[in-house]
Homo-oligomer: A and B are copies of this chain.
Amino acid sequence: MTQTPKNIAIIGSGLVGSLLAIYLRKRGHKITVFDRRPDIRTIKFSGRSINLAMSNRGWKALKKVGLEDNIREIAIPMDKRAMHVNDKPLYFQKYGKEGEAIWSISRGVLNRRMIDLAEASGAVFRFNEKVWDVDLPEAKIFTGKSEKSEWKEYKFDHIFGCDGAFSRVRHKMQRRSRFDYSQDFIEVGYKELTIPPNEDGSHKLDKNSFHIWPRGKFMLIALPNIDGSFTCTLFLPFEGEVSFENITTKKEAKNFFKVHFPTVRKEIENLTEDFFDNPTSAMVTMKCFPWTYWNKVALVGDSAHAIVPFYGQGMNAGFEDIDVLDQLMDVHGDDWEAIFDAYQKSRKPNADAIAELSYRNFMEMSSKTANSKFLLQKKIEKHFAAKYPDKWIPVYSRVTFSDRPYAEALAIGDEQELIMKEVMKFPDIENKWDTEELEQLILGLLENKKAT
Contact = CB atoms under 8 A, between A and B. Distances in A.
Contacts of A182: 181-184
A182 B185 CA distance: 11
A146 to B, nearest CB: 10
Interface string A173-190: 000011111111100000
A318 B238 CA distance: 31
A177 B286 CA distance: 13
A177 B181 contact: no
A138 interface: no
A185 B290 CA distance: 11
B178 A282 contact: yes
A147 interface: yes
A148 interface: yes
A182 B182 CA distance: 4
Contacts of A185: 177-180
Contacts of A147: 147-148
A179 B185 CA distance: 7
A178 B148 contact: no
Number of copies: 2
Interface in A161-182: 177-182
A184 B289 CA distance: 9
Interface residues of A, number: 13
A56 B183 CA distance: 34
B178 A181 contact: no
Contact of A183 (B179, B238, B282): B179
A90 B180 CA distance: 38
Nearest to A185: B178
Nearest to A133: B147
A182 B284 CA distance: 12
Contacts of A181: 181-183
Contacts of A178: 185, 238, 282
B183 A180 contact: yes
A181 B185 CA distance: 9
Nearest to A166: B175
Interface in A11-47: none
A147 B133 CA distance: 12
Interface string A225-243: 0000000000000100000
A377 B183 CA distance: 38
Contact of A177 (B180, B184, B282): B282
A262 B123 CA distance: 62
Contacts of A148: 147-148
A148 B181 CA distance: 27
Interface in A197-223: none
Contacts of A184: 180, 182
Residue of A178, A179, A238 with most chain B CB atoms under a 10 A cut-off: A178
A432 B182 CA distance: 47
9 contacts: A147-B147, A178-B238, A178-B282, A180-B184, A180-B185, A181-B182, A181-B183, A182-B182, A182-B183
Interface pairs A-B: 7 shortest CB-CB = A182-B182, A178-B185, A177-B282, A181-B183, A178-B282, A180-B184, A148-B148
Given A177-B185, A180-B183, 15 more contacts: A147-B147, A147-B148, A148-B148, A177-B282, A178-B185, A178-B238, A179-B183, A179-B185, A180-B184, A180-B185, A181-B181, A181-B182, A181-B183, A182-B182, A182-B184
